[in-house]
Structures are given as C-alpha cells and as structure tokens.
Amino acid sequence: MTITGEKGRILFAVTGWDPAGWIDAFAKAAPGRPVVLAPDKPDDPTIRYATVWKHRPGVLTNLPNLKVVFSVGAGVDHIFADPQLPDVPIVRIVADDLTMRMSEYVVWQVLDHLRQGRLYRELQMNHSWREAPQPAAADITVGIMGLGVLGTDAAEKLRQLGFRITGWSRSPKQVNGVACYAGTGELAGFLGASDIVVVLLPLTPDTKGIIERDMLEKMKPETPFGGPVLINAGRGGLQVEADILEALDKKPGEKGALMAASLDVFETEPLPASSPLWDHPRITVTPHVAATSDPRHLVPQIVRQMADFEAGKPLENLVDRKAGY
C-alpha cells in the first residue's frame, strides 16, 4: 500500500463553502498532513481521510486507502446523498462551539416569539407606541423535536430562562426538567403539549417530510400566542413548505392553524428568490446559519481524531449508517 507522506493526504471535498479558512486551520493544526481539494485521480492512493460537506457524489468511491469520512457539519444527510458511498466509518461533528451557536439561535427565536419581536418591529416602522399583552416564559411550553446533542442543550438553556420544556426522540430518554416523549406513538401527545415546537431532528428516511399537514394538525390549537409556533433549524427536507404556508393562512383556532414560523433550513437551498416564504409576514427566514461550522474550533478536533485513530483508539461521534444519523 502506497501513501504519499507518512500520514497520507486529507481530501477536503465541499461544495457551496469557501475552503480558505479550513485549509488554513488544517495547516495550523496538522502541518504534516497535506490537504487537497480534489484527488489527483479517481483511485488516488494518497488520500487517507476525507472531510466533506455536500461532496460531489462518487468522488470518494474508488479511493483505495480512504480510512474515515468526517462530516464538517453535525448533520450527515449530505453524505448519504452519495449513492456510491464507500464502506468506511463516518464521523460527525459534536463540538461545544457548534452546540452553543445552535442554542443561541433557538433561544433567540423563542424569545423573539415570546416578546413579540415581529409586532414591535412593525409598530416601530409605523411610529406606533402600543403595548401588547405579554405572556411570561413560565406560561409557555417549548417542545424540542430531537433530544440529541443540540436539542438537549437548547432545552437546558430554555429551562433556565423559565420555560416549560417537552422533548421528543426516537428512543425513550430522561432529561432533567424535560417531559420526554418518544417514538411515533407519542408524537401527538408531545405536539399537543407544546406551544412552540423547535425541530432539531436529523434528516433520515424516517423523518423526511415529517413537518406536514398531519403533524401541523396535531399541534396545540390554543396557545398564549393565539396558535402554535414552529421553529425548524434541523433540515429543510423535514418540512413540506406548501403545508406550512397553508397552516399559516388558516384562521386562529382552526384545526392545523399555525401562528408563526422561524425557518433556518429549506427544501431547496439557497431558498429561491421566488419562494413565497420570503415575504410571508409571519415567517422569519434565516439562510441556514443557525449553527455555522467554524474551522478554528472544528479542525483541531478532527485532526485529534485522526491521530487517535492511527494510535488504535476508537473514533468518537460515529454515525449509525442504518439509522442514518
């Protein structure tokens, strides 16, 4: 087996991201490991690791010495989108920096709904001095769909702010201060108990399109906001945007009516300029920025894992291929 250089080369295969900061971070964290943006040839024997975000399908398939694929995001649906994925371990990102960023986004959006940010921004535009009724955090139940690394941290931070918290996951969980629900059988109970639903699920064959009419109809019709609120920072493939728009157009109290939504992720990204989501008065759009991957924080962890792997230690944050996350 021939590998150029003692440790082989790292393939940094991304689309839609500027690689400069990542190349720089690899040069600092692993000066002995050359990084390339593409293999020299489809069966390049010098590539030992791939770090990827929406890589070009097939680019990993024939690399004979590829040992591990690292996702530079927490989600890995972008990796499974490659039908020719080689059978090597897949490692995803779990990092305090990323988790904190996501919790900031969730807290920001939840507080914006609680404190009626949209209304007050509109009143300011109209130079209108008017006080609206203000529920307390303790009056609101925030439901977290996906009680994993990100969901659990967001739940804890919201709990500290005084919100009541529910959570939903695939397997049963016990989380301090969180009323936990699990599995499809308990989804309706979870939705019916939550005023604001925050979606932090991975995109898998089981969760694809889960935010659709049937789910929206199970959400709590009466809330202190006059209807339920949806926040999706998981993946765009979880949501059916036509159903969300339909739910927002329903009258308050009507079955399946949604009061407002904050969406960070979309069925198609970038969100097409023609999408009606941009202009809807009760939708907040952010361009998939809830928790940006920062190479300064993530690359040292990836490089450490490479060294650990070479020293025979187990890889951390391994993806379960069968479950898809």
Q: Active site includes 78?
A: no
How far, in Å, CA of 264 to CA of 216, rounded?
A: 18
Q: Which is nearer to ligand NDP, 167 or 256 (CB)?
A: 167
User: According to CB under 6 A, which residues from 281 to 300 bind ligand OXD?
Assistant: 291, 293
How far, in Å, CA of 143 to CA of 191, rounded?
A: 7
Q: Tell whether residue 295 is a contact of ligand NDP (CB under 6 A).
A: no
Q: Tell whether residue 78 is a contact of ligand NDP (CB under 6 A).
A: no
Hey, what are 71's tokens?
A: 């996702």
What is the SS3 assignment for 280?
A: coil
Count of residues in contact with ligand NDP, rule CB under 6 A: 30
Say which of 33, 48, 170, 235 is annotated catalytic: 235
**Least separation in angstroms between CB 211 and ligand OXD:** 16
Q: Tell whether residue 47 is a contact of ligand NDP (CB under 6 A).
A: no
Does the CA dihedral 291-293-299-302 come out positive or negative?
Answer: positive
Q: Active site includes 159?
A: no
For residue 244, the tally of other CB atoms under 10 A from its CB is 22
**Least separation in angstroms between CB 259 and ligand OXD:** 26
Contact of residue 147 among ligand OXD, ligand NDP, none (CB under 5-8 Å per partner type): ligand NDP
Count of residues in contact with ligand OXD, rule CB under 6 A: 5
Locate tokens 């695939």: which residue?
170
- Is residue 39 reached through a cis peptide bond, with omega within 30 degrees of 0 on the bond before it? no
Does the CA dihedral 89-92-96-99 come out positive or negative?
Answer: negative
**Among residues 171, 174, 176, 274, which is the contact residue for ligand NDP, using CB under 6 A?**
171
DSSP conformational letter for 170 = S
**Among residues 75, 143, 227, 228, which is the contact residue for ligand OXD, using CB under 6 A?**
75
Q: Tell whether residue 141 is a contact of ligand NDP (CB under 6 A).
A: no
Tell me the residue type at 34. Answer: P
User: According to CB under 6 A, which residues from 52 to 71 bind ligand NDP?
Assistant: none
Q: Tell whether residue 73 is a contact of ligand OXD (CB under 6 A).
A: yes
Q: Tell whether residue 8 is a contact of ligand NDP (CB under 6 A).
A: no
DSSP conformational letter for 7 = T
How far, in Å, CA of 122 to CA of 131, rounded?
A: 13
Hey, what are 86's tokens?
A: 């080689």
Instruction: Give, in degrees to the nearest 5, the angle at Cα 190 between 282 and 280.
Output: 10
Say which of 288, 296, 297, 321 is annotated catalytic: 288
How far, in Å, CA of 72 to CA of 79, rounded?
A: 10
Q: Tell whether residue 151 is a contact of ligand OXD (CB under 6 A).
A: no
User: According to CB under 6 A, which residues from 223 to 242 bind ligand NDP?
Assistant: 233-235
Residues that bind ligand NDP (CB under 6 A): 73-75, 102, 146-151, 168-171, 200-204, 206-207, 233-235, 264-265, 288, 290-291, 325
Chain contacts with ligand OXD (rule: CB under 6 A): 73-75, 291, 293
The residues carrying an active-site annotation are 235, 288
